[in-house]
Amino acid sequence: MAVTEVRLSIHTPGLNPKDISEKIKEKFPDQVIDVAEFRDQVSVIVKKDQIVPICKYLHDDPLMSLDHLQDLTAVDYLKKKDVRFEVVYNLYSIRYRHKIRIRAQVPENDPKISSVVPIWAGANWHERECYDMFGIVFSGHPDLRRILMPEDWEGFPLRKDYPLIGPEFEKDWPGFVEVVNKAKELKEFEWEG
Amino acid sequence: MSGKDKMEQLEKIFESRELNVNMGPQHPATHGVLRLVLDMDGETIVKVTPYVGYLHRGIEKLGESLSYYQALPLTDRMDYVSAMSNNIGYCVAVEKLFDIEAPERAKFIRTIVGEMSRIANHLLWLATHALDIGAMTVFLYCFREREWILDLYEMICGARLTVTYPRVGGVRNDVPQEFLDSLWKFTDEFPSRILEYETLIDQNRIWLQRTIGIGVISAEEAVSCGMTGPTLRGSGVTYDIRKHMPYDAYDKVEFDVPIGTAGDTYDRYRCRMLEMRQSNNIIRQCIEKLPVGPVMADAPKFTLQPKDKMMPITHPTEALAYIIDEKVCKGCGMCLRACPAKAIFGEKKKPHTIKQEFCLGCGNCFVTCKFKALKLIPGGKAMSEEQLKELAAGPMPEEITKAAEYMVRHFEFVKKGPKVPEGEIYVATEVPKGELGFYFVSDGSGKPFRMRVRAPSFIHAGCLPRLCVGHLVADVIANIGTIDIVLGECDR
């Protein structure tokens, strides 16, 4: 039998997320806009131009080795922030057990960012979903098509200016009164007990 | 005709070209509505293109329109095979965002039900996986034990599939003693049941031929693809969130993480079989260590308080009648719009009336009325209209006013949600299928500004082309089974 069982109690100590953000600042001083911290989770806000070199550095550096892309998504800050979109990368190192979040700002008038598929193959479907839901174009992506919505769908559903319900559902259902009347009519046939 | 021409003609007749085959979306072996377009050279797969999204319900968009409490039942509908784990994942993430902590007992109970759902999920996985490959008996054996677990679920929350049992800040209700006894009996018996399945397939020659060396993926590739859970551990990577970032009571119990070496379908199968034994162990430890105490966090600003605290009323809520005081009603029409059953009638600037036969007793009108024209009458459903009018004219009893106040508070709390500090958070939990992550961006209101679900099935379905290429068509079925996907979670 090829399967073994292991106890995962000992592991190589990782870096403090703040140290990681400092290192990114050192390496790319003109790219980092801000560092935010909330509930012990640190996110580094960067410009979108150098996203691939930053990700490559975080992935390849032997001290970082952030090899697991936990999640890639976008957030639409319509009327909340000056730059409308942010593409969010949640990175984790399986070996050192530290993590960091990278947020790249993407403006509305030019919703384009380089693809990170060459670094993490798993980013493929994440980026397709991001394009599908927000309309952010990932340049260099091998197969950028809609994924969850039909291919001829118009609009990008997770944008904040996209309505929650379609126009045909805003009015009340016209059959409501009929159903109530019918229920009254048939009340005498109701089962008892 | 010369020999050369003849050869050319023959080649034209027997010309071989790639064959395109459409598989699904309504195919019993695709575990839901997954559609695959297979490009084949003879019977060998050259290229696989998965198409997903047939079950897309927009859970992320819906979550952004609901408060943190209202969105909880949506998580059941993602991975409906292990709904309990999804609920726990959501609750753990929201708790981290609110900065509250569930009491010890609730944590242990959540660990128990989480591991139960892991066993239930793996049983369903084994059943369908074996059925796909051709072992019918295993299917029946597995469903026998899964049924037992679902009955145990029913004992604690009344539901079998979409449970919504864990809550933000704890669990809905305490577990009864008979549930613990019955579960203990289950854990006594379950290891022998696993042996039963293993005698059927573990050394079965057909099973070995269909699984060993099929869908091989190396450790580096699996990590790069974003695989998680047993699918990743089959390749020999020790990544388990229960150990890496412990939540609930996982740091208080002892368990091993099974890993494979070859990264093929057989190793992933072995991993899951061993994982079931570990889950069984965890449940036993939790029952032994189960502390006594409350099951809901004491944080009135963030958690739903028990019903008797919220509504100290002796009458059953079904028998409550709402009635509009004609002297106070200004006819603004707010309640008219708020009523979901359209039970309120009346013209503008004239007092409205409620038709009792349509009224659902939801209390929407009561909350929306700014002039306090609505009155609650306990046991009013059984009274006649005249009696009700008489009672409405008089003053309300004090008990009712107090209860009504509590109810309004509860109502607003659920609808508007608590006040959450601004920030963003990503919290992952280990569900049976892999890593389920919730990413919340809060803007200070009671609703999440952005709710993102990182679904393991979605990533695993994306890895399918890598696993299938180079194998035969029949192995596509084995590969769909081995990555353990549920399309409800994949499409969200």
Q: Three-class SS of residue B120?
A: helix
The pLDDT, as a whole number, for residue B309 is 58
Taking residues B147-166, report their average pLDDT.
Answer: 89
Please name the member of A43, A122, A150 whose beta carbon is closest to the beta carbon of B224.
Answer: A122
Contact between A58 and A91 under an 8 Å Cβ cutoff? The reply is yes
- Of all residues in chain B, what percent are helix, strand and coil, respectively (each to 5)? 50, 15, 35
Please name the member of A70, A73, A75 whose beta carbon is closest to the beta carbon of B428.
Answer: A70
Taking residues B359-377, report their average pLDDT.
Answer: 75
The pLDDT, as a whole number, for residue B384 is 73
Whether B313 has a pLDDT exceeding 60, the answer reads: no
Cα distance from N-terminal residue to C-terminal residue, chain B: 63
What is the Cα–Cα distance from A122 to B110, expressed in whole angstroms? 31
What is the Cα–Cα distance from B368 to B417, expressed in whole angstroms? 16
Question: Rounded to whole angstroms, what are the CA distances from B61 to B158, B316, B454, B492?
Answer: 29, 36, 14, 10
Q: Which of B107-116, B210-219, B317-326, B332-341 is the least confident region?
A: B317-326
Peptide bond just before B25 cis, omega within 30 deg = yes
CB-defined contacts A:B, below 8 A = 134
- The two beta strands, A41-47 and A32-38, are antiparallel
The pLDDT, as a whole number, for residue A1 is 45
Taking the Cβ of residue A173 and every Cβ of chain B, the question of whether any pair is shorter than 8 Å is answered with no
The pLDDT, as a whole number, for residue A3 is 55
The pLDDT, as a whole number, for residue B439 is 92
pTM of the predicted protein model? 0.81
Region for B360 from its dihedrals, namely left if φ exceeds 0, alpha if ψ lies in -120 to 50, beta otherwise: alpha
User: Under an 8 A CB cutoff, do B224 and A158 touch?
Assistant: no
What is the Cα–Cα distance from B23 to A65, expressed in whole angstroms? 39
At A28-43, the pLDDT tens digits run 888 888 888 888 889 8
The pLDDT, as a whole number, for residue B321 is 74
Q: Name the residue of chain A whose CA is nearest to B443's CA.
A: A80
The amino acid sitting at B474 is A
User: Under an 8 A CB cutoff, do B259 and A157 touch?
Assistant: no
At B135-146, the pLDDT tens digits run 888 889 999 999
The amino acid sitting at B373 is A
Contact between B231 and B482 under an 8 Å Cβ cutoff? The reply is yes
Q: Which residues, in sequence order, are bridge partners of residue B391?
A: none
Taking the Cβ of residue A45 and every Cβ of chain B, the question of whether any pair is shorter than 8 Å is answered with no
Picking from B459, B466, B492 by the largest number of A CB atoms within 10 A of its own CB, the best residue to mutate is B459
Structure confidence at residue B89 as a pLDDT band (50, 70, 90): very high
Q: Which residues of chain B neighbour A158 with C-beta distances below 8 Å?
A: 60-61
Which of B229, B234, B236 has its CA nearest to residue B215? B234
User: Under an 8 A CB cutoff, do A122 and B226 touch?
Assistant: yes
Structure confidence at residue A4 as a pLDDT band (50, 70, 90): low
Q: Which residues of chain B neighbour A69 with C-beta distances below 8 Å?
A: 226
Taking residues A122-144, report their average pLDDT.
Answer: 90
CA B222 to chain centre: 25
What is the Cα–Cα distance from B4 to B21, expressed in whole angstroms? 34
Q: How far is B111 from chain A (nearest CA, A)?
A: 19
Q: Residues of A numbered 78-137 whose beta carbons fall under 8 angstroms of chain B's beta carbons: which are they?
A: 80, 88, 90, 94, 97, 101, 120-126, 129, 133
Contact between B52 and B131 under an 8 Å Cβ cutoff? The reply is no
What is the Cα–Cα distance from B438 to A131, expressed in whole angstroms? 20
Q: How many residues does chain B have?
A: 492
Whether B441 has a pLDDT exceeding 80, the answer reads: yes
Which of B175, B429, B173 has its CA nearest to residue B296? B173
Rg (CA), chain B: 28
User: Under an 8 A CB cutoff, do B65 and A101 touch?
Assistant: no
Q: Name the residue of chain A whose CA is nearest to B460's CA.
A: A122
Biggest CA-to-CA distance, chain B: 113
Region for B26 from its dihedrals, namely left if φ exceeds 0, alpha if ψ lies in -120 to 50, beta otherwise: beta
More confident residue, A2 or B436: B436
The pLDDT, as a whole number, for residue B109 is 92
What is the Cα–Cα distance from A132 to B237, expressed in whole angstroms? 32
The pLDDT, as a whole number, for residue A168 is 67
The angle, 0 to 180 degrees and rounded to 10, between the axes of the packed helices B177-201 and B136-157 is: 170
Q: Name the residue of chain A whose CA is nearest to B490's CA.
A: A148
Q: Which residues, in sequence order, are bridge partners of residue B454?
A: B437
Q: How far is B220 from chain A (nearest CA, A)?
A: 9
Taking residues B117-131, report their average pLDDT.
Answer: 91
Q: What percent of chain B has pLDDT over 70?
A: 91
- The two beta strands, B35-41 and B44-51, are antiparallel
Taking residues B230-249, report their average pLDDT.
Answer: 87
More confident residue, B424 or B387: B424
Picking from B99, B426, B442, B449 by the largest number of A CB atoms within 10 A of its own CB, the best residue to mutate is B426
Which of B196, B405, B403 has its CA nearest to residue B308? B403
The pLDDT, as a whole number, for residue B108 is 92
More confident residue, B470 or A170: B470
At B275-312, the pLDDT tens digits run 999 999 999 999 998 898 888 887 777 777 666 555 54
Q: Which residues of chain A neighbour B270 with C-beta distances below 8 Å?
A: 1-3
The burial of A143, by beta-carbon neighbours within 10 Å (0-12 exposed, 13-18 middle, 19 or more buried), is given as: exposed
Across chain B, mean pLDDT equals 84
What is the Cα–Cα distance from B82 to B125, expressed in whole angstroms? 11
Q: Which of A52-66, A159-173, B445-459 is the least confident region?
A: A159-173
Q: What percent of chain A has pLDDT over 70?
A: 90
Whether B394 has a pLDDT exceeding 50, the answer reads: yes
Q: How far is A94 from chain B (nearest CA, A)?
A: 6
The pLDDT, as a whole number, for residue B192 is 92
What is the Cα–Cα distance from B165 to B342, expressed in whole angstroms? 32
User: Under an 8 A CB cutoff, do A125 and B223 touch?
Assistant: no
Q: What percent of chain B has pLDDT over 90?
A: 18
The pLDDT, as a whole number, for residue B399 is 66
The pLDDT, as a whole number, for residue B379 is 65
Picking from B56, B429, B492 by the largest number of A CB atoms within 10 A of its own CB, the best residue to mutate is B56
- The DSSP element (H or E) to which B124 belongs, if any, is helix B104-133
The pLDDT, as a whole number, for residue B234 is 87
Question: DSSP assignment of B475-487, as one string?
Answer: HHHHHHHHTT--H
User: Under an 8 A CB cutoff, do A8 and B443 touch?
Assistant: no
Question: Rounded to whole angstroms, what are the CA distances from A84 to A71, A78, A80?
Answer: 20, 6, 8
The amino acid sitting at B349 is K
More confident residue, B391 or A29: A29
Q: Among A181-185, B177-181, B328-332, name the most confident range.
A: B177-181
The pLDDT, as a whole number, for residue B307 is 61
At B177-234, the pLDDT tens digits run 999 999 999 999 999 999 988 888 888 888 888 888 888 888 888 888 888 989 888 8
- The two beta strands, B321-324 and B374-377, are antiparallel
Q: Kindly provide the ipTM of the predicted complex, given to two decimals.
A: 0.83
Q: Three-class SS of residue A50?
A: coil
